[in-house]
């Protein structure tokens, strides 16, 4: 598959999910759900044999998830 199409697919689906959930639940929780979908979608693409490095998916996803968890922790105080 075209790398640009896979990048748009990997980023587009979680972004749409985030924008949909943002109005329904707290923003950090919506972001955490979107990041989880991003990581799972990326790992699925890797397991299907698409030409994507696992580090391109996992490292940014974990970083953003850490930011969302810290934001959730601060709002819980």
Domain range enclosing 69: 3-76
| DSSP string for 23-69 | TTS-HHHHHHHHHHHHHHHHHHHHHTT-S--HHHHHHHHHHHHHHHH
What pLDDT, in 10s, does the model give residues 18-68?
Answer: 888 878 887 778 788 888 888 888 888 888 887 777 777 778 888 888 887
What pLDDT, in 10s, does the model give residues 66-75?
Answer: 887 888 788 7
Reported pTM: 0.66
Query: Residue 44: its pLDDT value, please?
Result: 82
Is pLDDT above 70 for 1?
A: no
- Domain count across the chain: 1
């Amino acid at each position: 598959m075209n790398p640009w199409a896979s990048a748009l697919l990997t980023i587009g689906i979680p972004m749409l999910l985030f924008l949909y959930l943002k109005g329904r639940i707290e923003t950090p929780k919506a972001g955490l759900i979107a990041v989880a979908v991003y990581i799972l979608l990326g790992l699925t693409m890797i397991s299907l044999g698409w030409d994507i490095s696992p580090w391109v998916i996992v490292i940014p996803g974990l970083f953003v998830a850490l930011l969302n968890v810290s934001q959730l922790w601060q709002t819980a105080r």
